[in-house]
Amino acid sequence: QQQVKQSPQSLIVQKGGIPIINCAYENTAFDYFPWYQQFPGKGPALLIAIRPDVSEKKEGRFTISFNKSAKQFSLHIMDSQPGDSATYFCAARVNQGGKLIFGQGTELSVKP
């Protein structure tokens, strides 16, 4: 019940395309859902995060869509660029004091 399931495992898109990464969870006590971007050999960096009282959040080219009833959330990257090629992780947390549970990760490759 503590798991966060992420798909796909890998994704290849052309420059300008809109990759979509999906995550699903079971624990309804989760109240914070961040997305992280990780480049090889580096630590993850927070991209964007959402709370369950909001259905969508946009920051720049990154958008999170959140479906509370389906217990799913997704990341959309608009006008993707080769520099967006990285591994993306979704995560979830029970409360501000709780630990983050990470999804399995999606390796994104954006072809020029």
Partner 1 sequence: GAVVSQHPSRVICKSGTSVKIECRSLDFQATTMFWYRQFPKQSLMLMATSNEGSKATYEQGVEKDKFLINHASLTLSTLTVTSAHPEDSSFYICSARYPNTGELFFGEGSRLTVL
Residues lying near partner 1 in the complex (CB under 8 A) are found at: 32, 34, 36, 41-46, 49, 89, 93, 96-97, 99-100, 102-105, 107
Q: CA-to-CA distance for 13 and 107, rounded, in angstroms?
A: 11
Does an H or E element contain 92, and which? strand 86-93
> Which two structure tokens, joined as six digits, stand for 99?
């630990």
Is-contact 82 15, C-beta < 8 A?
yes
Q: How far is the CB of 96 from partner 1 (least distance, A)?
A: 3
Tell me whether residue 14 or residue 95 sits nearer to partner 1 (CB atom): 95
Strands 10-14 and 106-111: parallel
Q: How far is the CB of 16 from partner 1 (least distance, A)?
A: 27
Q: How far is the CB of 51 from partner 1 (least distance, A)?
A: 11
Tell me whether residue 18 or residue 54 sits nearer to partner 1 (CB atom): 54
Tell me whether residue 24 or residue 49 sits nearer to partner 1 (CB atom): 49
Other residues' Cβ atoms within 10 Å of the Cβ of residue 91: 22
DSSP state of 32: B
Tell me whether residue 63 or residue 106 sits nearer to partner 1 (CB atom): 106
